[in-house]
Chains A and B, each alone.
Chain A
Amino acid sequence: MSFLTYFINGLSLGSIYAIIALGYTMVYGIAKMLNFAHGDFIMVGCYVVFTVVSTMGLNPVVGIVVSIVICTLLGVTTEKVAYKPLRNAGSPLAVLITAIGVSYFLENAALLIFGADTKAFTSVIPWEGIILAGGALKIQGVTIITIAVSLVILIVLQTFIYKTKAGQAMLAVSEDKGAASLMGIDVNKTISLTFAIGSALAAIAGVLMCSAYPSLTPYTGAMPGIKAFVAAVLGGIGSIPGAMIGGLILGIIEILGKTYVSSQLSDAIVFGILVIVLLVKPTGILGKNVQEKV
C-alpha cells in the first residue's frame, strides 16, 4: 500500500512537471527557442496569487484569474521586448542568453519587491481529498485536482492545435516560418499567442505547485523549471503528448528513486535517466525524427 502512496505522490509531482513542460515544449515547438525564464513565470504567478489571496484577502478564484492574466501579459511583453528583436539575430544563442537574463531579472525583481524570506502559501484547494482502503490510502485533494487539470489541459491543447485556425497557424509556423508567412500567416502574432498560452500554463502550474508544496521564495520556479525542461526533452521537445508523458515519468522516477534508492541521489537519478534516453533515442520518447530534405 505504501508503494501506491509513493506512486500517487509521483503522479502528482509529475503532473506539475507536465504542465510546466507543456509551456516549454509549445514555445520551443513553435518559436524554436528555449525560454529559460519559463520557471520564473511560475514564480511570478505564485506571488500574484499570494498577493491577491493572502495580502488583499480576496477569493482564491479571483487570485487564479488575476494570476493567469498577469502571467499572460508578462509572457507576451517579455517576448515583445526581449526576444522578438533578437529573433533574427545571427546566432540562436542570443535569444537563449537573453532568456537566462530575463530569468535573473525576474528573480531579482521578486527579491526586491517581496524580500528573501519564505512565504507560506495558503492552498487554493480546500478539498481534503479521499480516503481509500479503509484509511490505508489517502489521496489529497490537490493531488487529484493536479492530475485532472493536467489531463484537461492536454486535451484542450491538442484540440486547439489540430481543430482551430490559430492552432493550424501554429503548426505551420513550427514547420517553416518563411513559408507560413508567404501563406499569409502573421508569424509574430502566432508566436505572441504561443507565449500567451505558455505563460498562462505557467501560472496554472505555479498555483497547483504552491498548493501542494506551500512555500514561496523568489527561486521557487527555478528548479522545477529545469526539471520540466528535462521532462520536455525526455518526452520529445516540441511534442505536446510527449511533454505530458515526460513530466509524469520524471515525477514518478524522482519520487520512487528517493524512496527506494537514495533521497540524496534523486536528482542524479533523474538526470542520469535523461542521459540514457537521449543516448538511445536522441529525439526523446515521442520526438519526431525530421529528416533534412536536400
Chain B
Amino acid sequence: MKLFKKVVSVAAASAMAVSLLSGCGSSAPSDTYKIGSIGPATGGGAAYGTCVKNSIQIAVDEINQAGGINGKKIEYKFEDDELNAEKAVNAYNSLKDWGMQFLLGTVTSASSIAVSEKTKEDNMFQLTPSGSAADCVKYENVFRVCFSDPNQGIASADYIADNGLATKIGIIYDSSDVYSSGIYQKFAEEAALKGLEIVSAEAFNADNKTDFSVHIQKAKDNGAELVFLPIYYQEASLVLSQAATMDYSPKFFGCDGLDGLTAVKNFDESLAEGVMLLTPFAADATDDLTVNFVTKYKEQFGEVPNQFGADAYDAVYAVKAAIEKEGITPDMSVSDICEKMKKGMTEIEVAGLTGTITWDASGEPTKEPKAVVIENGSYKSMQ
C-alpha cells in the first residue's frame, strides 16, 4: 500500500512537472492556431460528443491539407467532460494549459454555461456548436452555431407561413418542459405576425403524457390543417398513433426534438411518413458539401453523422473565416484574439452544412431553417 502511494505521488509530481513545462511552452509565440473542444465522449450524450469530436477533426484535416489558414496549420485537441459541468471546467483548464486559443464547445448547454463563466474571465473566444439554451451566449465572447430554443419557434412559424403549408394551426406542447413551452411561446408570437391562425393550443405535462385524445380531438374539431409538435419524439410517437386511430391526418410539423422518431421501439414507422421537422442538417441531402462531409465521416468513423457534428464542422469554418477577415495570427495573446474574433464573427458569412450563417454581436446565428420530411423511414430535404 505504501509503495502504491509512493508510485502515485511520483506519477502525480511528474505529471505536474510536465504540465508546468507545457505551460512554459505555450507562452512562447506559437506558430499554429490551437483549437480545443469539450464534450461528452463517454457516458450519457456520448453520441453527441463523439460526433462533434470527429467532425471538428474532419474540418481541421481539410483545412490543414489545403494549406492551413494564411499558411499556418491548426492544432486540435478534444477533452471529454462526461456530460458533467464540473468536469467540463477541468477540461477547459487542461486545454488552457495546452495553449488553446479558440474553444469550440462545449457540446451541451449546462456544461457550456459553466465553462462560459471561465472563458469570460480569461477573455477566451468560445463558439458552441450545439448549446441551445438561451443562457449559453449571455456573455459577449460566446457565440453559437445552432438555433436557440426560442428561435426554433420563430423559424418554424416562418417556415410554415412562407411555404404556405397551412393557415390553421393546432399545437400540442409540454407545459412542464422549458424547451417545449419556450418554442411554443415564440411560435405563437411569430404566427400572429405572419397571419397564421392558431385554432387550438393544448398542453400536457410530465405527469400526464399518454392520453392525447382531447388535444387531438380539439385540433380536429377546430379544423387545424397542420399540427405543430414542439415536443420530444416519445410523446410525438403517441400523438401520431392516437391521431391515426381517430382518423385524423393533418400535416405534422416539429422541431429537432422529433429527431429520433423513426427509432422508437415498436413504433409503426408508416405513421411517421410525411411528418416534417425543422432540423439544421439532413445526412442524405445531395448538395456537394453534405455529400463530402458524410462520405468522409463514414469512411473514417463508420457511422452517419448527426446534426451536432454538422454544427461543429460549420464552427471550424466560421473560425477560419473570422481569422482571415481580421488577420489574426497565432502569436497574438488569447485576449487579443478574442477581441478580434468578437468583431470578426459579426462580419463573416459562412456557407455551411447547416445553411448560410451570419452572426450578430449577441452571439446568435441567423440562418435559413432547413426542413426535412420523413419519407420511407428516412429524412429527405424539403425544398
Q: A118-B264, A120-B266, A214-B241 are in contact. Are A264 and B214 (CB under 8 A)?
A: no
Cα distance A122–B264 when bound, in Å? 12
Cα distance A118–B233 when bound, in Å? 10
Interface check A2, CB cutoff 8 A: yes
* A/B interface sample: 30 pairs, CB < 8 A: A6-B214, A9-B213, A13-B211, A54-B266, A117-B234, A117-B265, A118-B265, A119-B266, A120-B264, A120-B265, A120-B266, A122-B266, A138-B246, A140-B245, A212-B211, A213-B210, A213-B211, A213-B242, A214-B238, A215-B209, A215-B234, A255-B214, A259-B217, A263-B202, A263-B203, A263-B204, A263-B215, A264-B203, A266-B208, A267-B207
Interface check B247, CB cutoff 8 A: yes
- Closest chain A residue to B237 by CB distance? A120
Interface check A84, CB cutoff 8 A: no
How many of chain A's residues touch chain B, expressed as a range?
A: 20 to 34
Residues of the B chain whose Cβ atoms lie less than 8 Å from the Cβ of A164: none
- Closest chain B residue to A135 by CB distance? B247
- Closest chain A residue to B232 by CB distance? A118
Q: A5-B217, A259-B214, A259-B218 are in contact. Are A118 and B234 (CB under 8 A)?
A: yes
Interface check A121, CB cutoff 8 A: yes
Contact indicator per residue, chain B 233-258, by CB within 8 Å of chain A (1) or not (0): 01001100110011100000000000
Contact indicator per residue, chain B 366-377, by CB within 8 Å of chain A (1) or not (0): 000000000000
Residues of the A chain whose Cβ atoms lie less than 8 Å from the Cβ of B215: 263
Interface check A223, CB cutoff 8 A: yes
Cα distance A266–B213 when bound, in Å? 14
Q: Identify which of residues 46-74 in chain A touch chain B, using a CB-to-CB cut-off of 8 Å.
A: 54
Residues of the B chain whose Cβ atoms lie less than 8 Å from the Cβ of A5: 217
> Told that A122-B266, A138-B246, A263-B204 touch, could you supply 4 new A-B pairs with CB distance under 8 A?
A118-B237, A120-B237, A120-B264, A213-B210
Which 4 pairs between the two chains have the least Cβ-Cβ distance?
A213-B210, A120-B266, A118-B234, A263-B202
How many Å from the CB of B271 to the closest CB on chain A? 10
- Closest chain B residue to A263 by CB distance? B202
Q: Mark A residues whose CB is within 8 Å of B.
A: 2, 5-6, 9, 13, 54, 117-122, 138, 140, 212-215, 220, 223, 255, 258-259, 263-264, 266-267
Whether the Cβ atoms of A6 and B217 lie closer than 8 Å is yes
Q: A6-B217, A118-B234, A120-B265 are in contact. Are A215 and B205 (CB under 8 A)?
A: no
Whether the Cβ atoms of B267 and A2 lie closer than 8 Å is no
The residue among A117, A119, A214 with the most chain B CB atoms within 10 A of its own CB is A214
Residues of the A chain whose Cβ atoms lie less than 8 Å from the Cβ of B221: 2
Residues of the B chain whose Cβ atoms lie less than 8 Å from the Cβ of A264: 175, 203, 205
How many Å from the CB of A127 to the closest CB on chain B? 11
How many Å from the CB of B259 to the closest CB on chain A? 15
How many Å from the CB of B134 to the closest CB on chain A? 23
Residues of the B chain whose Cβ atoms lie less than 8 Å from the Cβ of A119: 265-266
Cα distance A5–B213 when bound, in Å? 10
Cα distance A268–B234 when bound, in Å? 25
Whether the Cβ atoms of B204 and A213 lie closer than 8 Å is no
How many Å from the CB of B263 to the closest CB on chain A? 9
How many Å from the CB of B324 to the closest CB on chain A? 45
Cα distance A255–B241 when bound, in Å? 19
Residues of the B chain whose Cβ atoms lie less than 8 Å from the Cβ of A266: 208
Cα distance A220–B207 when bound, in Å? 9
Residues of the B chain whose Cβ atoms lie less than 8 Å from the Cβ of A140: 245
How many Å from the CB of A262 to the closest CB on chain B? 8
Q: A138-B246, A255-B214 are in contact. Are A223 and B208 (CB under 8 A)?
A: yes
Cα distance A117–B232 when bound, in Å? 12
Residues of the A chain whose Cβ atoms lie less than 8 Å from the Cβ of B214: 6, 9, 255, 258-259, 263
Cα distance A267–B247 when bound, in Å? 27
How many Å from the CB of A7 to the closest CB on chain B? 11
- Closest chain B residue to A258 by CB distance? B214
Residues of the A chain whose Cβ atoms lie less than 8 Å from the Cβ of B202: 258, 263
Residues of the A chain whose Cβ atoms lie less than 8 Å from the Cβ of B266: 54, 119-122
